[in-house]
Amino acid sequence: MALDPGAYESGTFEKIRQPTLLLWGSRDLYFPKSHGWRALATLTDAQLKIYNGAGHSLPIAYPAHFASDIHAFLADR
């Protein structure tokens, strides 16, 4: 996505119908948070949670919060 911004316009994201959880770092240098907002707007059924001050390695930097967010998302399904 960061390497191919056209992925959002290609129609690929619109084909995803599964509930999707987007976990994003506000300081991610590889995938800026603007990509998260764009993905959220393009996906049919998505939630976006931004970790303030976090970079790209959310599972390493915030393992408990990361796991908790995934668990909560799956529990709602």
Domain boundaries, the chain: 5-75
Q: Is the pLDDT confidence value at 74 over 80?
A: yes
- In this predicted structure, the answer to whether residue 2 has a pLDDT above a threshold of 60 is no
pTM for this model (two decimals)? 0.84
What was the pLDDT predicted at 4?
A: 62
Here the tokens at position 2 are 């960061």
Contact 76, 28 (CB under 8 A): no
Mean pLDDT of the chain: 89
For 22-77, the DSSP string reads EEEETT-SSS-HHHHHHHHHHSSSEEEEEETT--S-HHHHSHHHHHHHHHHHHHT-
